[in-house]
Amino acid sequence: MQRFGKLALAALATIVSVAGATAADVVTVPTSSPSPIQVPVHDDDASFDWSGFYAGIFGTVQTSEEGDAQYGAGVQAGVNASFDFYLVGAEVAVQGLTGEVGETTYGQILGRAGLIVTDDVAVYAAGGFGMELGAPDEQDYLLGAGVEMSVTDSISLRAQYLHGFPVQDGTGQNQFSIGATYHF
């Protein structure tokens, strides 16, 4: 019986080694086309340049944790720097809001850091400070994320979400914005 076990173990080792060698062989398939196969070449000049100054416009919806909503539009300006597939930047924005709780102007300063997912798409996290530029005097720490996609050599579209954490007493805010940006 012991001899049978050794023989079975040797047979198993032989099968495993032959199967591994067979699996490693290269399989080739002849083609019937006489024309050469086109291979796409990556052109670095065709990729969107995320670095530099930009300015844009956006529409926004801002809701409080109590359910109050405000709608508005705004402008932003900023600067980005890209390193390989990393993106960092800073931005200032001002928006006018109107709605159930009245009219106000809201300003924010953001830092952005993210990844360039493809030549035309970037995702980022954003954090900073926001404040009402009129009454009521409310200030928030902002934290959120966004995605930006280029549509031409100098124009991109973006969607962004920010949550406002009140500096002092107040209610948190959720801000959703969609906009277009021109890159210089």
pLDDT of res. 144: 97
- pLDDT > 70: what percent of the chain? 74
Cβ distance 59 to 70 under 8 Å?
no
| Dihedral angle sign, alpha carbons of residues 150, 153, 154, 155 | negative
Fold of the domain spanning 44-183: Porin (2.40.160)
Write down the pLDDT at residue 36: 65
Question: At 116, is the pLDDT very low, low, confident or very high (cuts 50, 70, 90)?
Answer: very high
Mean residue pLDDT of the chain comes to: 82
This prediction has a pTM of: 0.72
Every domain of the chain and the residues it spans: 44-183
User: How far is the C-alpha of 180 from the C-alpha of 151, rounded, in Å?
Assistant: 10
